[in-house]
Amino acid sequence: MIKLLKMKSNFGKAIKRLREQKGYNQKDMAEVFNVSPNAVFNWENGSIPRLEKLEEIAEHFNTDMNTLFGFDIDTKSEKSELEKRLIQEGLKKKINNLTESQLETLISIIKNFKD
């Protein structure tokens, strides 16, 4: 029960933080996700939307479910600065979707950078 309450609290904090980072007020965010402003208020106060909406939220903010529910909060300090930056820029998902050939090209480019 305590874990569920913590997940809801983490989700509410994450939604509010992501909303504010985009410069959205609750009404703006409601329009983006085709919900009422009251729904956004409820999310920020621990209500959890359906899975489809969660996926839409994660995609819109270039994040994942772990981040939305705070599962990676304790491990964030273990992430490399590069990984943190890739996530921040919304590039981690794109890199994960590269073909093997594209990945080899990217690695080759990085290796050619001067120290």
Q: Which of 65, 47, 67, 45 is nearest to 55 (CA)?
A: 65
Query: Are 58 and 9 contained in the same domain?
Result: yes
CATH number for the domain that contains residue 42: 1.10.260.40
| pLDDT score at 78 | 53
Select from 66, 36, 33 the least CA-distant residue to 52. Answer: 33
> 83 with 32, same domain?
no
Based on the fold, state whether residues 83 and 45 are members of the same structural domain.
no
Tens of pLDDT, residue by residue, the chain (115 residues): 666 667 778 889 999 999 998 899 999 999 999 999 999 999 999 899 999 999 999 999 988 888 888 775 444 445 667 777 777 777 777 777 888 888 788 878 877 876 6
When divided into structural domains, the chain yields a total of: 2
Q: Within this chain, do residues 37 and 70 fall inside the same structural domain, yes or no?
A: yes
Question: How confident is the model at residue 3, as a pLDDT?
Answer: 64
Same domain, 8 and 38: yes
Residues 67 and 93 in one domain: no
Instruction: Give the domain range for residue 17.
Output: 1-75
